[in-house]
Every structure is written in C-alpha cells, then in structure tokens.
Amino acid sequence: MDAETEGWRAGRPGVLVLPSGRAVRGRGLRRDLDPGDPLPSYGLYLLGKEPPRLPWETRWVRWPDFRLPADPADARAAFVEAWRRSAGERVEVACGGGRGRTGTALACLAVLDGVPAGEAVEFVRRHYDRHAVETPWQRRFVRRFTGSAT
C-alpha cells in the first residue's frame, strides 16, 4: 500500500479493527484531530445537518443526535460503501460525540464484516468504546441490520 491508501494503525485512539483485518476510525467531531494521526481518505459523517467541507472525500447521512438515520436505506448504502472502501483506504466514521451514532454505524460495519448482528454492539463496545451505541433504538437498529454487503 502507498501512503495514500495505507490503513489506520491498530491500537491508535478510535481505531476499530474488524475481524477481517479492515480498520476504521471512529471519532467525535467535537474533539480535535490528533496532529500525529494521518488524515482520512474518506469520511462518513452522521449528523443532523450537513457537515462543513473537508479536504478529503466525504459522505453525509442525515442522522439527528440520539436518534436513527432519517433514511435507513441511505444509511445502509453508506455503511456498505464505507466497509468496501476500508479494504484499502483510511475510512473515518464520525458524529458529534463519537459514541451513539458512530458506535451504531461501526456495529453495522462489523455485521457487514461477519459479526452476528446480535453480537455486534458488544463487539464495538469491547474494541472501540464501552459506551458506544447509546440508545435502545440504536441497539435494536443494529440487531435488525442484515449482513449482506450486496
């Protein structure tokens, strides 16, 4: 891999390594980037309003805080795209705080990567943030998420 497509380093803050070895960084946008970390090549942003322009390619999913995605089909397509791109790019998934919406999306990526939907929240809590996926409806969203990336 060249510098542009080199993935995230395991063990760095916010990096979730999926069972396949793909790595995705979760982040809360209210926290500044660590100056020592490389920038993402692609970002998936889960916010109630459109995020500011960033110097890398982005996708926005309308997703109000503590809620579910406004368009679940669009969210699913965004998760599939992020999962596919994580095979060779630095993919970042972020919301305001980096726990509820980000954790929910990361759990869905884990399902796409082969983690059973009923175990995905625990997987993300164990390997990303113990407080990830904050609401009962976010946990239910993950449990109902199907694993096919097609």
Q: What is the CATH number of the domain that holds 23?
A: 3.90.190.10
Whether 3 is covered by a domain: the verdict is no
Whether 91 is covered by a domain: the verdict is yes
Q: What is the pLDDT of residue 150?
A: 55
Full DSSP string of 33-77:
PPTTSPPPSEEEEEESSPPPP-SSEEEEEE--TTS--SSHHHHHH
Q: Which pLDDT band holds residue 146 (cuts at 50, 70, 90)?
A: confident
Whether 5 is covered by a domain: the verdict is no
Contacts from 113-118 at CB under 8 Å and sequence distance 24+? 113/18, 113/19, 113/20, 113/22, 113/83, 114/19, 114/20, 114/147, 115/18, 115/19, 116/147, 117/142, 117/143, 117/144, 117/145, 117/146, 117/147, 118/143
Task: Tell the burial category of 13 from Cβ atoms under 10 Å away from its Cβ (0-12, 13-18, 19+).
Answer: exposed
Higher pLDDT, 81 or 37: 81
Do the strands 57-62 and 23-28 form a parallel or antiparallel pair, or are they unpaired?
A: unpaired
Q: Which pLDDT band holds residue 3 (cuts at 50, 70, 90)?
A: very low
How many domains are contained in the chain? 1
To the nearest whole percent, how much of the chain has pLDDT over 90? 81
Task: Tell the burial category of 139 from Cβ atoms under 10 Å away from its Cβ (0-12, 13-18, 19+).
Answer: middle
Distance separating alpha carbons of residues 40 and 132, to the nearest angstrom:
21
Whether 1 is covered by a domain: the verdict is no
Q: Which pLDDT band holds residue 14 (cuts at 50, 70, 90)?
A: very high
- pLDDT of residue 84 exceeding 80: yes
Q: Which of 145, 35, 17 is nearest to 26 (CA)?
A: 17
Whether 10 is covered by a domain: the verdict is no
Whether 101 is covered by a domain: the verdict is yes
- pLDDT of residue 1 exceeding 70: no
Q: Which pLDDT band holds residue 81 (cuts at 50, 70, 90)?
A: very high
Whether 129 is covered by a domain: the verdict is yes
Altogether, the residues listed in the chain come to a count of 150
Q: What is the pLDDT of residue 2?
A: 37
| Longest CA–CA separation in the chain, Å | 41
Question: Across the chain, what does the average pLDDT equal?
Answer: 92
Residues spanned by the domain of 118: 15-144
Whether 86 is covered by a domain: the verdict is yes
Q: What is the pLDDT of residue 4?
A: 41
